[in-house]
Amino acid sequence: MNEFIPPAKPLIGDEERAAVDRVLRSGMLAQGPEVKAFEEEFAEHFGLGRACVAVNSGTSGQHLGLLSSGVTAGDEVIVPSFTFAATCNSVALTGATPVFADIDADDFCISPASIESRITEKTKGIMPVHLYGHPAKMDQIMAIAQKNGLQVYEDAAQAHGASLNGTPVGAFGTFAMFSLYPTKNMTSGEGGMVSVEDAEVERLMRLYRNQGMEKQYHNEVVGFNTRMTDIHAAIGRVQLTKVDGWTTARQDNAAFLSENLEGVTTPPVADGAVHVYHQYTIRVPEDRDGLAAALKEQFNVGSGMFYPVPNHQLKPFAGTTADSDLPETMKAAAECLSLPVHPSLTQADLERIVEGVNTLAKAGA
């Protein structure tokens, strides 16, 4: 049988290995000059026009961003239920309550109309997720936030380089988090990068990252150790020089899939949006799980379901929101299937993915 096509594949080359070796030889392993350089280069590379703070994971970046923005017990933050658990966990960890909004059918991202229906006097902010690498409807979301005096926290974990009407994701909200987990569009091994609008929020983030200290033994707040190491930053700095090429490859792969797939709904791209295809997600209205299993068995093609169990159904949040209040979330959770789109795919891989999906979709029809 043909070789397995994995749903994701981290790309680590000689340059990353050499960068790690350079740091190891320097003897300076913990947070230091590599982290500082990575923060500056990341902000510059993606044209964010604001400061960036590096941390040890995307999740801690969101948690610290929320704490630094003043989110606390008694507050509500509106989040999509159709996302990875870290989005909602980071809110809950501050003591605030995640309030689940529905998504829109077209982009799988949080629905502005649903956001408006969830606003109460306790709402402090909105956390849109640029899901799969497609920007959320930031123009409408920023207008709702402004009208209601709310903050916006972007979950850009999957969206390095995505933009809307020329504005990069990560340049809209009070802060934005980019994950650097190995399967993301670029990685540092583990890690997170947070872009921050306001200098005081940035200062607090740096304090929380380092036990509450800017100056040693002059602790100002109760903090964590969520520092990024120089080893991880060195990997991330190299990946920054490669990510644009990988994004183009993802977009070319997505274009081929969208041109050739039949019998399934391919992912649309909104006017003015740049989609960076962290995932290429189709909708399979009938028997998605069966199609995924047959793709693997008959064509040796891997795929992913992000996310078959929406957050409002997870144990920590169960009972907070009725399924019937989140109809598009429930539909997407049953239908979504992410096909390989990563930059390592060959033309033969792409053709096998298309052949597999088209054959199986036709057989099921």
Binding site for ligand PLP (CB under 6 A): 57-59, 83-84, 86-87, 129, 155, 157-158, 179, 181, 192
Residue of 31, 71, 270 lying closest to 152 (CA atoms) = 71
Instruction: Report the residue number, 157 or 176, with the smaller CB distance to ligand PLP.
Output: 157
On the CB side of 146, CA atoms within 13 Å amount to 8
Q: Which of 122, 137, 184, 242 is catalytic?
A: 184
Judge whether 137 counts as a catalytic residue: no
Instruction: Report the residue number, 81 or 83, with the smaller CB distance to ligand PLP.
Output: 83
**Rounded to the nearest whole angstrom, what is the least distance from the CB of residue 130 to ligand PLP in the complex?**
8
Cα–Cα distance, 147 to 85 (Å, whole number): 28
Q: What is the DSSP letter of 217?
A: T
Cα–Cα distance, 28 to 33 (Å, whole number): 9
- Are residues 257 and 341 in contact, defined by beta-carbon separation less than 8 angstroms? yes
**Rounded to the nearest whole angstrom, what is the least distance from the CB of residue 187 to ligand PLP in the complex?**
9
In 10 A of CB 50, how many CB atoms?
A: 15
Instruction: Report the residue number, 114 or 179, with the smaller CB distance to ligand PLP.
Output: 179
Q: What is the DSSP letter of 241?
A: T
Cα–Cα distance, 256 to 203 (Å, whole number): 45
Strand (E) or helix (H) holding 123: strand 123-126
Residue type, 57: S
Instruction: Name the residue with tokens 């008959």.
Output: 298
Instruction: Report the residue number, 69 or 83, with the smaller CB distance to ligand PLP.
Output: 83
**Rounded to the nearest whole angstrom, what is the least distance from the CB of residue 264 to ligand PLP in the complex?**
23
Instruction: Report the residue number, 58 or 263, with the smaller CB distance to ligand PLP.
Output: 58
Residue with the shortest CB distance to ligand PLP: 58
**Rounded to the nearest whole angstrom, what is the least distance from the CB of residue 180 to ligand PLP in the complex?**
6
**Rounded to the nearest whole angstrom, what is the least distance from the CB of residue 57 to ligand PLP in the complex?**
4
| Catalytic residue list | 184
